A = this chain, B = another copy of it.
Amino acid sequence: MLPVAQTAPGETRFIDAFFTGTSAISVTGLITVDTPTHWTGFGEAVILACMQLGGLGIMTTAAFLGMVVSRRLRLRAKLMTQAELHPSISLGDVKSVLRFAALYTLAVEILIAAVLALRFHFAYGFAPGDSLWQGVFHSVAAFNNAGFSLFSDSIIGFATDPWISMPLILGTILGGLGIPVVYELSRRRAVRNWSLHTKMTLSGTAVLLFGGWLVLLALEWSNPGTFGQYAWHDRFLPAFFQSAVLRTSGFNSIDVGQLNDDSLLVSMVLMFIGGGSASTAGGIKVATFFLLMWVIWAEVRGERDATAFRRRLPTQVVREALAVALVYLALNVAAVMLMQRFEPDIMLAPIMFEVVSAAATVGQSTGITYDLGDPSKWLLAIVMYGGRIGPVLFATSLAMATRKRLYRYPETRPLVG
């Protein structure tokens, strides 16, 4: 970034500027320099712009790719008279999607920014201009699931304030559902008309949100480094905040470095799953994960077909989901191994957390990011970009690629287990 973007006269190292830009554009939120103290107002504005462009970019790009796949598959399906193939992304034309995404973004961000600004001004006595800037910045960071904060300790100072936490949670969730779901909700009000994708994403999000809440609450209830520092009735909000933001936006209202190791593991699983398809969230996506869960459930029950919400899941999409999940997992493991090489003095748990957080573009950290060497920073930058566009590009290419064969091999099964 430009010299004018930094507060101190010293030089910002290229890698730190590059890392911050990558983190903002990929809407991750990991930082190697402290946002409020290191950057000037101009620098913060650049970060804001990067987050906004990054979030809008990934949402619309993923939605377009979904539309392309949908059309291609619909063409193919014409021969087979399949009734409801991929209706979830019958989004209309490109222009209307772009307009819808922009309007939706704007509406949510203004709403959240207004609530935050009012609270900052009236409850904490921030000056009007400062309140507005804080409100806008955190609203954009929340909706685009980017998780940058203008407070050095993120949202920790507001952990028990529902007027700060709840708007950020709401922004995170609304940004993380994904354009296909939101577009459909804006058109079809009746639940029975919802597409499979919408049903899976909404129910999955609810399960992860409340399941994560209860599990984290149980694991951290008496941890004095996290929720245990508050009176018992003040522990529910920070836990709900953590459950909501940890899959995607990556703010933190507790010190992540103080979490128990088992909470870190739960957190990694939740981050790995991530948010909705064609949203500002990362991970393998809620629908991808629950699709695999439905398949396993069908298998356990001995059903011939894997079904969800009275719809049959095509074999092809199951294979796609499997490929996306396992390749993503393998790349995470590879990155963890590489980073352990780079950072022999850091333990496995924080390194795993850091890599999954970067790959899922979450941005929470146990606190090791500041101390990383340059190779690790480059690695994390690659992981953030790869994690951001990897799953959607990979899934799209899988869905598009088809090879015609004039023959099929005979079917046979190896032993399993």
Contacts and interface: CB of A to CB of B under 8 A. Distances in A.
A75 interface: no
Contacts of A413: 73, 85-86, 196, 313-314, 316-317
Contacts of A88: 414-415
A277 B415 contact: yes
Contacts of A302: 398, 400-403
A92 interface: no
A27 B189 CA distance: 58
Interface string A259-280: 0111001100100000001100
Given A285-B415, A417-B284, A408 B296 contact: no
Chain A at the B interface: mostly helix, strand, loop or mixed? helix
Of the listed residues A82, A83, A308, A319, the one surrounded by the most CB atoms of chain B closer than 10 A to its CB is A319
Contact of A410 (B195, B201, B278, B312): B312
Contacts of A392: 417
A232 to B, nearest CB: 21
B348 A416 contact: no
Within the oligomer, what is the number of copies of this chain? 2
A318 interface: yes
A291 B412 contact: no
Interface range for A? 35 or more
A300 B278 CA distance: 21
B84 A410 contact: yes
A12 interface: no
Question: Which one of A299, A318, A340, A341 has the highest number of Cβ atoms from chain B below 10 Å of its Cβ?
Answer: A299
A194 to B, nearest CB: 12
A303 B415 contact: no
A38 to B, nearest CB: 31
Contacts of A312: 408-412
B311 A412 contact: yes
B324 A415 contact: no
A282 to B, nearest CB: 11
A66 B416 CA distance: 9
A395 interface: yes
A326 interface: yes
Given A277-B414, A278-B415, A288-B415, 17 more contacts: A87-B412, A201-B414, A265-B333, A265-B340, A287-B414, A288-B416, A295-B322, A296-B322, A296-B323, A300-B398, A301-B401, A302-B402, A303-B405, A313-B413, A314-B411, A394-B417, A395-B416
